[in-house]
């Protein structure tokens, strides 16, 4: 049976952040207000474990929300030790290897001392908030680091046995589709293990909200963000880089009725991207003069082929005047499509 990985998120909002990025309000994004201590780490992991299956699982404690390695190193050690100690107990109880710890941080807060300490306390995955590889975009977003900082951090991390993740954002101030595609190309050169793609959302109580309200910033529409994310996803996949998330995870705060003022917010953003990819594939398979078609896909891919709220079926009828029925064929691979036209 396949071992499923569960992440236990431990949010440290704004801890270690020396800058106020224009788009960032971690307390609203994470829904977490209080500072996290070692006892909180024990409690958070313990509560999550009660809700998870005891078998065929892999547990990762995940420190998100701030710049973890910007916290004083003694505080980093306290939090990591608490997580590692608890996970070791779980591993011993179920007689298997310990689970991992992952964390996110800034590229300019990486050095050998920090990496030695992370390795000591069982960290397995480091994700860097790259956001852009265009220095003008980084400056406009008040990131406080450069593309060179990213390159140097990646080079150092690759000297250790960590899994490396890089996070990028689209639609930042001064960004364009071309600059985002350039960022993807530069990230590919760095050969990370995993990538996250986040369209920029305008969150309440951020400088970006002020820019938006005064007409100095224009966010992406959902369609614009989906079209760009589609190109990025395909580009990374072509280069054998796993994209583990597209779009911020939906929460009570990250929703159209929450703290999002503007931008391409959608509860199923990745599904929109995957559906758009299928729409393009289906269109390429349909023959001229086709009025009705049976479109065959793998059973696990049906929802993506149909599209969110049947958007692909509706769009094919409206734009191509073709009535499409989605059928299944277990012999087909992911994104492999076979069409029978009438």
CB distance 17 to 66 below 8 Å: yes
Instruction: Tally Cβ neighbours within 10 Å of residue 135.
Output: 13
Q: In what order do the strands lie in the sheet with 338-341?
A: 323-328, 292-297, 338-341
Instruction: Tally Cβ neighbours within 10 Å of residue 161.
Output: 8
In DSSP terms, which residues pair with 324 in a beta bridge? 293
CB distance 68 to 13 below 8 Å: no
Q: Which of 122, 129, 154 is nearest to 144 (CA)?
A: 129
Residues in Cβ contact with 12 at an 8 Å cutoff, skipping those fewer than 6 apart: 35, 36, 63, 64, 65, 66, 68, 71, 79
CA distances from 223 to 176, 190, 227, 293 (A): 15, 29, 6, 26
- How far apart, in whole angstroms, are the C-alpha atoms of residue 268 and residue 211? 27
pTM for the whole thing? 0.89
Q: Where are the domains of the chain?
A: 4-250, 274-341
25: left (phi over 0), alpha (psi -120 to 50) or beta: beta
pLDDT in tens, the chain (342 residues): 566 778 888 888 655 565 557 766 654 444 445 678 888 898 888 888 788 776 767 778 899 876 889 889 999 999 999 998 877 766 555 544 456 899 999 999 999 999 999 999 999 999 999 999 999 999 999 888 999 999 999 999 999 999 999 999 999 999 999 999 999 999 999 999 999 999 999 988 888 999 999 999 999 999 999 999 999 999 999 999 999 999 987 654 555 557 889 999 998 999 999 999 999 999 999 988 899 999 999 999 999 999 999 999 999 999 999 999 999 999 999 999 999 999
Element (H, E) at 127: strand 123-131
SS3 94: coil
- The CATH superfamily label for domain 4-250 reads Aldolase class I (3.20.20.70)
């Amino acid at each position: 049976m396949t071992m499923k990985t569960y992440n236990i998120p431990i949010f440290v909002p704004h801890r270690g952040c020396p800058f106020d990025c224009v788009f960032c309000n971690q307390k609203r994004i994470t829904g977490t207000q209080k500072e996290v201590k070692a006892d909180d780490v024990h409690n958070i992991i313990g509560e999550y474990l009660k809700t998870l299956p005891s078998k065929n699982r892999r547990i990762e404690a995940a420190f998100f929300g701030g710049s973890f390695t910007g916290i004083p190193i003694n505080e980093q050690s306290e939090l990591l030790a608490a997580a590692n100690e608890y996970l070791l107990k779980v591993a011993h109880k179920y007689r298997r290897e310990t689970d991992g710890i992952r964390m996110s941080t800034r590229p300019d807060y990486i050095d050998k001392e920090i990496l030695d300490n992370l390795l000591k306390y069982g960290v397995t995955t480091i994700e860097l908030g790259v956001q852009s590889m265009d220095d003008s975009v980084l400056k406009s977003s008040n990131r406080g680091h450069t593309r060179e900082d990213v390159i140097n951090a990646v080079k150092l991390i690759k000297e250790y046995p960590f899994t490396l993740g890089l996070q990028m954002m689209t639609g930042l101030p001064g960004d364009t589709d071309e600059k985002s595609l350039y960022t993807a190309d530069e990230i590919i050169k760095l050969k990370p293990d995993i990538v996250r793609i986040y369209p920029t959302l305008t969150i309440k109580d951020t400088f970006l909200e002020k820019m938006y309200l005064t007409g100095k910033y224009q966010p992406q529409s959902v369609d614009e963000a989906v079209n760009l994310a589609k190109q990025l996803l395909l580009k990374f996949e072509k280069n054998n880089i796993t994209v583990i998330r597209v779009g911020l995870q939906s929460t009570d705060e990250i929703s159209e009725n929450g703290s999002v003022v503007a931008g391409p917010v959608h509860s199923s953003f990745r599904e929109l991207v995957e559906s758009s990819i299928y729409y393009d594939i289906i269109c390429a398979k349909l023959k001229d003069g086709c009025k009705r078609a049976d479109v065959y896909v793998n059973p696990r891919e049906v929802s993506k082929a149909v599209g969110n709220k049947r958007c692909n079926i509706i769009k094919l009828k409206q734009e191509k005047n073709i009535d499409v029925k989605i059928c299944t064929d277990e012999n087909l691979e992911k994104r492999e499509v076979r069409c029978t036209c009438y």
